[in-house]
Chains A and B, each alone.
Chain A
Amino acid sequence: MALIPRRDQLPIPPKNARVHNTVCQYCTAGCGYKVYVWPVGQQGGLKADQNAFGVDLSQPQPPLAGLSYTETMHAVTTGKDGRQYHVVIVPAKDSPYNRGNYSIRGGTNALTVWSLDRGTQDRLEYPLLRIGDQFQAITWQDALTLVAGVIKGIRDRDGNDDNITVKAYDHGGSGQGFEDNYGLGKFFFAALSVKHIAIHNRPAYNSEVWGSRERGVHELNYDYTDARLADTVVLWGANPFETATVFYAEHILPNIQGNTVAEKQEAFAKGEPAEPGYLIVVDPRKTSSYTVAETVAKDRVLLLRPNLGTDYILANAIARVVWERGYYDMAYLQARTDMGLFEEYKQKSLKLQVPYAEFMAQVERITGVPRAQIEKAADWIAKPKAGKFKRRTLTIYEKGIIWNMKNYDQVAAIVQLAVLTHNVGRPGTGCGRLGGHQEGYVRPKSPTPGSIYRGGPPVNVDKFLVEGKGKFYWVVATDPYLSTPNSQVFRKRIHERTQKLTRALGQGGEPGTIQERVRKILDVLYSDPDALFMVVQDIYMTETARDAHLILPAAGWGEANETSINCQGRLLRLYEKFMDPPGEAKPDWEIFKLVGLRLADLYRAEGKAQEAAKFEFGKNWKTDEDVFLAGAEEFKDNRVSEEDEATLEAENYKGVTYKFLKEVGQQGIRTPVRRDPKTGKLVGTVRRYTHKFGTPDGKFKWYGSDDWEGYPAEVAKYLEGEKAKQYPFWVTTGRAQTIWQTAYHDRHLPVKAAALPLPYVEIHPEDAKRLGLQSGDLVEVYNEEGNGTFMVYVTDAVKPGLIFLVMYHWRGTSNSLTSGYTDPKTTIPWYKGTRANLRKLAGSIPSVQQTASLLQQNKFD
């Protein structure tokens, strides 16, 4: 009956089990975890002094306060010594962030370890070489010779690295951290000079928030404690109940419930009102982050549902109300912001030259949000409290803003509203990203440009490849066949281009040696300019890897030491290694080191010592910590006073060592880390921009928004004439609690795969009724870009006329339907808006209906 394997008892870690600190491999929250490892065959006892938990297990644990050790928190792995080990991974009680709390994703950390009794046995264990339509095992030695040989051959012929294209992560967590980012950066930017590189989830090398950074505000500026102290929390295009779950459950919700009032009284000024928090959610969907809060505090929650793409118009309108009602502090603005540029903001963003009533009527028409709601939002964000105390509002935005139409203007509008109302740099305030994954960026300067205002925009590498340019494509720890916009077109083209090389290599017999293979690959690449050589480096076989010529096995989370920061406080911690990688898999930094050294050998053999030296960046890297410490050299001198923290990079960790991190454990230290000029001690930064902004003169730089210009051609085509009838639905896309940041593992875990076997589409009950659809039916969603089959969820999360597609499911990706549009200022795609139609397929799949829950996910009352 159980659908999936269940347990009714679990092994107890003995007193002598190895104990490690780590951080969840998944989302932006970065919850702390404890790992216990011991050989199979041993077992601890029930008494507190008989087990490594130090907990009396003879009695049931008390709710909330007790130890959570559930079925999904145990696994058995095999070590390099050939022995089997129990691995138990439980939420850390001593983590100040999660305090023993955890989510449906982090709770399965243990299930993801490489284990022979479940789907994770599919991990890549050794390099694989494509021979025709097969992958064959090869040694690292041969794999390195192949990669280095092809790279050198391209450089020899071209005299530059422009035909080398890369798609790679730039983040922390998920088995990556500062170490892997630095190894990757040294190879592609300092040894090679790769311009055609794109970041894991988008088609170019760019920040997703230049609209904030160019104002002087790094996106990670608030602390999780600010969510406990805020008078109002604004969630703008962010759904943390599902995508930063413990942050919402442990910090935002208690504030809305009124459970943090005492903390507010402590932190606030004398006489300042401290009350239960308010919540504003801005989202086209009625998200669970809204409906949970609505269940606990109906009168203190507000939902604004703008038309797709219109959020920046809405943000500027709220700012206009703030201006009209005088909810700002002119002395602050004059002291801390660039008043020359402020004139431009007043004219272009606030449009003070347009009479208020006329302005608001325009905004209502464009955004679809009633004027009264806009004015109410302005009151909740900025209306001074009794006693003229400034309100404290924390604004958190994420992909609803970032992956919106006009990325730059969207982000800029939101951060400007926050600064206009002095809601940055005070306890209970801030304006930043929720984040997706954790962060860990440290790299030499990239040879890529900035936004359109800083030499850009950067090249769209997807389009570069689709147009038939580039000869070498190295995909590192990402699956662009699912994740890139307009991905059906992309997939078909990369398949076609890699096939050309595969077929040519097989003609006249496969090359006999690796050297011969290198020669033949280069011959083909330079005789057929459309042919493409692809390397995929990952932990599993991915959709993209199916077309690769060479697959390199990487180490995952827990298989090497690594460091990352979370996004709600930049909490830097050591993620300790607790087990060996499977087979011959290696950490990414080591793979780049080894490819570099092989290239150095090739150059040295030709007497090119200078070129060889560039590729020897990793020759002294013996341990993970060597790479961590080498990375620190990229940061500025951090001997600065607290007043000057804004001059430091957000990730600056200069002076921090693994030893230091082991000592602080789950407490971590918040970046940017400063070396206090007086004491020389390392000090973290709780909250940023209290004293200055991150610009040369320390002042915030205003920006004048673009006017509303309607939709870009790629989507506007669906709004006119016949096509408006053919593609009647607006489409938005997003994530789901169960598989957020986890699908690469989840497809191998019964507890997840059984619950969400297919990608789904949310449809409003009225639309479903009209089309004769029920939850569980299969439909094809299609437009001119592509199509996919999705399972129907009928829900009022979407409005009539709007459908929602879950992103990145392994059985089908919403990105097949997204357009190729990117913001001309930043090359950031609009993943969350297009048009489509849907067609009912013949009924449903009974086995899927049997296992997948069809209950409404946003209904908590």
Chain B
Amino acid sequence: MTQTLSRRRFVKLTAAATALFTAGGKAQLGYAPSLTYPAVKVANVSQVKTGQPVTFSYPDASSPAILVKLGKPAVGGVGPGRDIVAYSALCTHMGCPVQYEGGRFICRCHYSMFDPAKAGQTYQGLASSWLPQIPLRVDGKGDIYAVAVAGLIWGRVKNV
């Protein structure tokens, strides 16, 4: 099963910029998700415990990711409390693994820290791009699926 989320644009787009998305069919400047992602089951809502991260790989085996239930509502959160989120576990600074500890993601290579409740924003440290957030979907059985990646996974020019 695949799914493509609709584009959401938050900046003014001039006609000139819009033209870019089609220029030569090669410019590849669409906003994420602009690619086709697999839907992968990560966990069931009933198994996820607040503050206990679940590690998985997404969208492929060489891309570690972390799902976590924060215990308070988060941007893009799913589940009854809208508090379950998932992110790429590769630091957007220089690609080291991030850990979920003390309610935030921290990378111990140069100490970047990301806020899981605020779309993975870098609230301290070196990473200029926010942590890529993995949009989640919950089906009728409470199964949580990863369905896309909003943000570029470090070390790639294309997520898939």
Q: How far is the CA of A73 from the CA of B27 in the complex (A)?
A: 15
Contacts across chains A and B counted by CB atoms under 8 Å: 228
Contact B17 A2 (CB under 8 A): no
Answer whether A64 and B95 are a contact pair too, CB < 8 Å, given A1-B76, A70-B129, A117-B11: yes
In angstroms, how far is the closest chain B Cβ from the Cβ of A826? 34
Answer whether A116 and B17 are a contact pair too, CB < 8 Å, given A4-B10, A751-B129, A851-B118: yes
Restricting to B4-46, which residues have a CB under 8 Å from any CB of A? 8-14, 16-17, 20, 23-24, 26-35
Contact A63 B94 (CB under 8 A): yes
Contact B75 A70 (CB under 8 A): no
Check: B49 CB closer than 8 A to any chain A CB: no
Interface residues as binary, A1-33 with B (CB distance below 8 Å gives 1, 0 otherwise): 111111111111000000000000000000000
Q: How far is the CA of A6 from the CA of B87 in the complex (A)?
A: 13
Answer whether A6 and B94 are a contact pair too, CB < 8 Å, given A1-B75, A755-B121: no
Query: A63 — which chain B residues lie within 8 A by C-beta?
Result: 90-91, 94-97, 109, 154-155
Give the residue of A68, A84, A861 whose beta carbon is less than 8 angstroms from that of B94. Answer: A68
In angstroms, how far is the closest chain A Cβ from the Cβ of B71? 14
Interface size on A, residues (CB 8 A): 73
Contact B123 A855 (CB under 8 A): yes
Contact B94 A3 (CB under 8 A): no
Q: Which secondary structure dominates chain B's binding surface?
A: loop
User: Which residue of chain A has its CB nearest to the CB of B123?
Assistant: A853
Point out which of A42, A57, A64, A70 has the most chain B C-beta atoms below 10 A from its C-beta: A70
Check: A168 CB closer than 8 A to any chain B CB: no
Give the residue of A71, A108, A117, A245 whose beta carbon is less than 8 angstroms from that of B13. Answer: A117
Check: B119 CB closer than 8 A to any chain A CB: yes
Point out which of B110, B112, B158 has the most chain A C-beta atoms below 10 A from its C-beta: B110
Query: B156 — which chain A residues lie within 8 A by C-beta?
Result: 57, 60-61
Contact B130 A7 (CB under 8 A): no
Restricting to A90-137, which residues have a CB under 8 Å from any CB of B? 100-108, 115-119, 121
Query: A505 — which chain B residues lie within 8 A by C-beta?
Result: none
Check: A737 CB closer than 8 A to any chain B CB: yes
User: Which residue of chain A has its CB nearest to the CB of B16?
Assistant: A116
Interface residues as binary, A201-242 with B (CB distance below 8 Å gives 1, 0 otherwise): 000000000000000000000000000000000000000010
Check: A69 CB closer than 8 A to any chain B CB: yes
Contact A64 B109 (CB under 8 A): yes
Contact A6 B31 (CB under 8 A): yes
Q: How far is the CA of A106 from the CA of B119 in the complex (A)?
A: 21
Answer whether A107 and B129 are a contact pair too, CB < 8 Å, given A40-B23, A855-B115: yes
Give the residue of B9, B97, B124, B158 whose beta carbon is less than 8 angstroms from that of A5. Answer: B9
Contact A41 B24 (CB under 8 A): yes
Answer whether A850 and B128 are a contact pair too, CB < 8 Å, given A3-B121, A9-B152: no
Check: B81 CB closer than 8 A to any chain A CB: no
Restricting to A805-853, which residues have a CB under 8 Å from any CB of B? 850-853
Q: How far is the CA of A853 from the CA of B121 in the complex (A)?
A: 7
Query: B69 — which chain A residues lie within 8 A by C-beta?
Result: none
Contact A72 B11 (CB under 8 A): no
Give the residue of A9, A68, A72, A108 whose beta carbon is less than 8 angstroms from that of B34. Answer: A9
Q: Mind listing 29 A-B residue pairs with CB under 8 Å?
A: A1-B75, A2-B151, A4-B130, A5-B10, A6-B32, A7-B29, A7-B152, A9-B28, A9-B157, A10-B158, A42-B24, A63-B109, A66-B94, A68-B94, A71-B129, A71-B152, A78-B16, A84-B16, A105-B128, A106-B128, A107-B128, A117-B11, A117-B16, A288-B111, A850-B75, A853-B115, A855-B113, A855-B115, A857-B124
